[in-house]
Amino acid sequence: MLLDDTIKLISNELYNAGNEKKPIEPLVSRFPEITINCAYKIQLENVRKRVSEGERIIGKKIGLTSYSMQKLLGVYEPDYGHILNTMVLLKNELSLSTVIQPKAEGEIAFVMKEGIEGPGVTSTDIISATDFVMPAIEIIDSRVRDWKIKIEDTVADNASSAFMLVGTKALPPNEVDMFSTGMVFLKNGEILATAAAAAVMGNPVNAVTWLANKLSEFGAGIKKREIILSGALTAAVDLKENDVVEVAFDRLGAVTLKVTA
């Protein structure tokens, strides 16, 4: 376990790395005693600092929702991070000046009509509490050098989140097949990957259910009107200047992102 002073120290390192666009060395190699619980404390410390400076929490993101990624990092469940208002792209553009080593993922975003708190939340509860779902691109980034991360690194780093972009189409969750709905991921017009919604824990609703119950361990929950990014359907794709990425979902429509200098 880490002492409170060390948690604040690491939080400040990550905060400064994000502001200055200068990555830090991996946390696990420097603080081998760090635990996942400590990492969430670091994340929350950083989020509180950003909120105190005027940012607002508007949602959550879920990461490590594929069993292959969990196995790769040696964990048995996903992780989560916070979405702040400054992380929402208002145009379909990402400036490389705002990130360090960005990657893009295609996801289904849930917008909640009701707040919900665990423990004991079920998938039926999540569907009832969801207003609508939308196609989304999440831009992930790591404040840890060269993406040399373990689970503790990414959790402390707000689940490696950076920005998000949602499409313009929205549907009630009961009008979307959360198992077999397909997604195509294109980069510069080339199809890089295809997947079904089931790639996210068998059903993205399962990921949001996990989140609601996990948050209860920290005395928190999902709030009304929050946006929940339910997890990537395919592997993340590196981004560079002039790239154009698009994720296209069956029935849910598409969302496109252009990368600028």
DSSP, residue by residue, 119-170: SS--HHHHHHHEEEEEEEEEEE--SBGGG---HHHHHHTGGGEEEEEE-S--
SS3 call for 51: helix
Residue 68, pLDDT above cutoff 80: no
CATH number at residue 15: 3.90.850.10
Q: Give backbone dihedrals phi and psi of 203, rounded to 5 degrees, phi first.
A: 180, 125
SS3 call for 38: helix
For residues 71 and 229, the model is more confident at 229
Confidence bin at 3 (pLDDT 50/70/90): very high
Q: Which residues contact 90 (CB under 8 A, 6 or more apart)?
A: none
Name the β-bridge partners of 152.
none
Q: How many domains does the chain have?
A: 1
Q: Give backbone dihedrals phi and psi of 72, rounded to 5 degrees, phi first.
A: -60, -40
- 88-129, pLDDT tens digit by residue? 999 999 999 999 999 999 999 999 999 999 999 999 999 999
Evaluate whether 184 touches 247 at the Cβ level (below 8 Å): yes
For residue 67, the model assigns a pLDDT of 82
Evaluate whether 84 touches 163 at the Cβ level (below 8 Å): no
Burial of 217 (0-12, 13-18, 19+ CB in 10 A): exposed
Evaluate whether 239 touches 104 at the Cβ level (below 8 Å): yes
pTM of the predicted model as reported, rounded to 2 decimal places: 0.96
What's the domain range around 13? 4-260
